Amino acid sequence: MVVGDFPEEVDTLIIGSGPGGYVAAIRAAQLGQKVTIVEKESVGGVCLNVGCIPSKALIQAGHRFDEVKSGGDDLGITAENVSIDFSKVQDWKAGIVKKLTGGVESLLKGNNVNIVKGEAYFSDENSVKVSTDEYNSQTYKFKNCIVATGTHPTEIPNFKFSDRVIHSTGALQLKEIPEKLVVVGGGYIGIELAGAYANLGSEVVVLEGEKRILTGFEKQMAQLVQRRLKKKGVKFHTQATAKNVEETENGVTVTAEVKGNEKTFDADYVLVSVGRKPNTEELGLEQIGVEMDDKGLIKVDKQLRSSKSNIYAIGDIVEGPQLAHKASYEGKIAAEAISGQASEVDYIGIPMVVFAEPELASVGYTEKEAKDAGYEVEAAKFPFQANGRALTLNDADGFMKLITRKEDGLVIGAQIAGPNASDMIAEAGLAIEAGMTAEDIAMTIHAHPTLGEITMETAEVALGTPIHITK
């Protein structure tokens, strides 16, 4: 039986409940808007359900297992008969996801956001039809709409996704730890999962098309990660193109061209992680005149407004790095713009992080980017080896690099490779956003012994007054 479709009116309709959509919904509700959010799968989107959160849980489990299994010979700690129950790891991971997604749903309801499960399609520039099941749909008329539909994994020729040819979601949901795993793609997703499964005991091979892995980060930072993973048995093949895969009931054989030579690799699974495509194809955006580029990204202005002035787009479906915190930031900007505020995006302070070994983080300009932008800069560097806390963690590989403007010491960028880089980068981001100088950081008293002191020490290097390394 088909239920009658009587249009419901809302101030702001949001399509997608990932870290962009749900943050936009809450912020819009705080600003007095009547908000409805539409989600066709699970509240929390890719990030909370099959991305950022579960991957970090798996990475943490891998770290813990590897630490216990390998022992701490330097510390005099050994262990015998170390084992892992992977089903319990998956249950623990699922529990974290359930807790966080349930929390997001409670936050939405607590802010009086109406949550609708279904698939949205634009009828015109002021309404969408949401299909709630095979027979029923509901039309919503809106004053403004924020599209936050995210992305899906890219499939490459001859590697159709299946039980053995998997994307990142499949890699996070395996029932067993693979004995052998081939990873196609040496970007941050591929490298994070390669490291996680290497720590869990898998033999891992990484195939990367470029001359090196992690091309979004400086070469020296990527080299640190590759060196650490090689020690764990991970094999790397760069300038490698995956050509095809033969799949059996129990495994795969991957054929690749590596620097002009054909090679084959046997494994239990092949993980294809070569990027993600925007979910903008089946929304009806073209029919209502929303402009997109040749990649399927929605063109927006500095307030995230599309070519239709009442339709906004945020997150992975607009230009820029595909980062959850970028989406959340943009969600707040769009909600505020709809409310008449003068908010607009400024991406200089958005950090990029890879949860590899060691962790990598970057914010603002790199030295090369700053010079290409016309700045005269100083690039100050401080090693983790000279930090007491890093030594007591038995994890002192890495460095921090601070990019400052030569004329006045203004902080305009930072890069960190080392333990807890993901947390440390926040101070550098704050310095950039607040217009701070190297002297401001150096004069801030940092607790001892902490990794945070590295930021202070790097600022002192920039000033030419280092204490714990010689000039």
CB 380 within 8 A of CB 461: yes
Catalytic residue selected from 237, 325, 448, 468: 448
Strand partners, 127: 124, 141
- Say whether 302 counts as a known binding-site residue: no
Report the distance separating Cα 33 and Cα 12, nearest Å: 7
Report the distance separating Cα 364 and Cα 359, nearest Å: 17
- Say whether 266 counts as a known binding-site residue: no
- Say whether 275 counts as a known binding-site residue: yes
- Say whether 185 counts as a known binding-site residue: yes
CB 264 within 8 A of CB 255: yes
Q: Buried (b) or exposed (e) across 380-396, using 16+ Cβ within 10 A?
A: bebbbebbebbeeeebb
- Say whether 56 counts as a known binding-site residue: yes
User: Within 10 A of 407 (CB to CB), how many other CB atoms are there?
Assistant: 9
- Say whether 190 counts as a known binding-site residue: yes
Query: What is the DSSP secondary structure assignment for residue 366, as one 8-state letter?
Result: -
C-alpha distance from residue 340 to each of 28, 300, 304, 328, 467 (Å): 11, 17, 13, 19, 50
- Say whether 119 counts as a known binding-site residue: no
Whether 167 is catalytic: no
**Residue 273 token pair:** 């992680």
- Say whether 188 counts as a known binding-site residue: yes
Three-state DSSP state, 428? helix
- Say whether 317 counts as a known binding-site residue: no
Report the distance separating Cα 471 and Cα 460, nearest Å: 11
- Say whether 45 counts as a known binding-site residue: no
CB 115 within 8 A of CB 21: no
**Residue 464 token pair:** 């030419």
- Say whether 186 counts as a known binding-site residue: yes
DSSP string, 313-363: E-GGGSSS---HHHHHHHHHHHHHHHTT------GGG--EEE-SSS-EEEE
Q: Buried (b) or exposed (e) across 261-283, using 16+ Cβ within 10 A?
A: eeeebebbbbbbbbebbbbbeeb
User: Within 10 A of 31 (CB to CB), how many other CB atoms are there?
Assistant: 16
- Say whether 316 counts as a known binding-site residue: yes
Three-state DSSP state, 142? strand
Token pair 């020490």 is at which residue? Answer: 457
User: Within 10 A of 64 (CB to CB), how many other CB atoms are there?
Assistant: 13
Report the distance separating Cα 261 and Cα 331, nearest Å: 47
CB 391 within 8 A of CB 455: no
**Residue 207 token pair:** 């195939």
Residue ranges at the known binding site:
56, 185-192, 208, 275, 316
Residue ranges at the known binding site for NAD(+):
185-192, 208, 275
Would you name the residues annotated as active-site residues?
448
